[in-house]
Structure 1
Amino acid sequence: MGCCNSRTKKALKIGCGFTVILLLTILIVAITLYFTILKPKDPKVTTQSVTLESIRFEPFPAFHLNVTIGLILAIHNRNYGSFKYDSSIANVTYRGDPAAEALIIADTIPARADHDLNTTVLIDLDGFSKNPNFLGDLFSGCLNFTSSTILHGKVTVWKVMKLKATTVSTCDISVFTKFQNATSVCKSKIKF
């Protein structure tokens, strides 16, 4: 009986040792996968096109200035998961003052793919005539705006893992009234 009992203990020790080694291997593989493949990466946002669709300036009888900007952003999802986001609003400011809002319609950005985001922004500059910098900017021919967009949604990795995520994008937009065009530089960050 003593011989059988020592064999059972030895087999149990070997089984426990094998289980610990297997669990450690799985843990190391999971950590390696997370930090090499699955680690969330910020989406790369680039301006594909910024167009000055219209500009309306009426100095008399009452000052009136409207600018309509067409903005197409190319979003490159560098992650191995798709990002499905809800409808949102892009807020545009001029030197910290609210200038306009643009609707962002809900959509999905596929994993490791590019996605175009189109929006049109109508900026009514009548309220900025009181800003001490406005006339100087207007006469210099360049009006600078900042747009910020927060997209709430879910990241799905291999149709198994689903995580809530938020992307925050900011764009610096320069409207050149003299040349009737505009440029933009954007940054984006993802938060889980």
Structure 2
Amino acid sequence: MGSSIKCCCSGGLRLCICVTSILFILLLVVFIILFLTLLKPKEPKIVTQSVTLENFNLVLLWPAMKIQLNVTLGMVLTINNRNYGGFKYQDGVTYVNYHGVLVAEAPIENGSIPARGRHNVSLSMTIFADKVIGNSNFKGDNRSGVLNFSSSTTLHGKVSMLKYFKMKATSHTSCDISIFVQNQTIDSDCKSKVRL
């Protein structure tokens, strides 16, 4: 009688361990599937929404034959956090180049974006006129009626998932910017890159 009770207890314990193990494995599989699909870290994106010409003034001063140039660009960037966790990014800078020479820059202050959130950053950049006019390409571009610039912005940060998992993320956007001298208009072509 005593041996049969002992046998029953031992069988119940085995059954309990088996059921617990199966439940644990099922929960683990569900968590892994959720993490690889719904919760998988995605790269935050920087998208250049618009590039505008806030100010443009090109004057030839007589009789000194001196060129005076004033250019201010406006830019709106959208930082899009596509994750189910927050994205915290460090200070960044937007650079504007004219034929490979840095002619303007604007700082971007660090910040954080909640899960599935977006944040707009507005920038205003005054071009260093002397660096444009002193460039060997300026006379030819001015004659053709188009001044070609390029801009680039890179943000480094971390994506936090479930407060425990943190992953480094880098987001980059670049634009080719054309200013048409005659009618004082602007055209831009922008691309975004992301890297985890």
- Per-residue deviation, residues 20-75 of structure 1 (Å, max 9, x unmatched): 43333233222222232222333454443322111232444444433210111233
What is the letter of the counterpart of residue 31 of structure 2?
A
**Are 1:172 and 2:186 matched, yes or no?**
no
TM-superposed deviation, 1:104: 0.8
- For the pair shown, the structure with the greater C-alpha radius of gyration is 2
1:22 aligned residue:
23
2:102 aligned residue:
98
1:182 aligned residue:
186
Do the aligned partners of residues 26 and 127 (structure 1) sit closer, same or farther apart at CA in structure 2, a change above 3 Å counting?
same
CA distance in 2, matches of 1:74, 1:7: 66
2:153 aligned residue:
149
Number of positions where the alignment pairs a residue of Structure 1 with one of Structure 2: 192
* Structure 2 unaligned spans of 5+: none
- 2:86 aligns to what SS in structure 1? strand
CA distance in 1, matches of 2:71, 2:102: 14
CA distance in 1, matches of 2:15, 2:68: 84
- Per-residue deviation, residues 114-150 of structure 1 (Å, max 9, x unmatched): 3211011111243344545433333333223222222
Per mean C-alpha deviation after superposition, the further-off stretch among 182-191 and 139-148 is 182-191
Within 5 Å, give how 1:1-192 maps onto structure 2.
7=8, 10-11=11-12, 13-60=14-61, 61=64, 62-129=66-133, 131-157=135-161, 161-192=165-196
- Given the two structures, how large is their TM-score scaled by the length of structure 1? 0.77
TM-superposed deviation, 1:164: 3.8
Percent identity, please. 44
Q: Say what the alpha-carbon RMSD is for the aligned residues.
A: 3.0
TM-superposed deviation, 1:160: 5.5
CA distance in 2, matches of 1:115, 1:121: 20
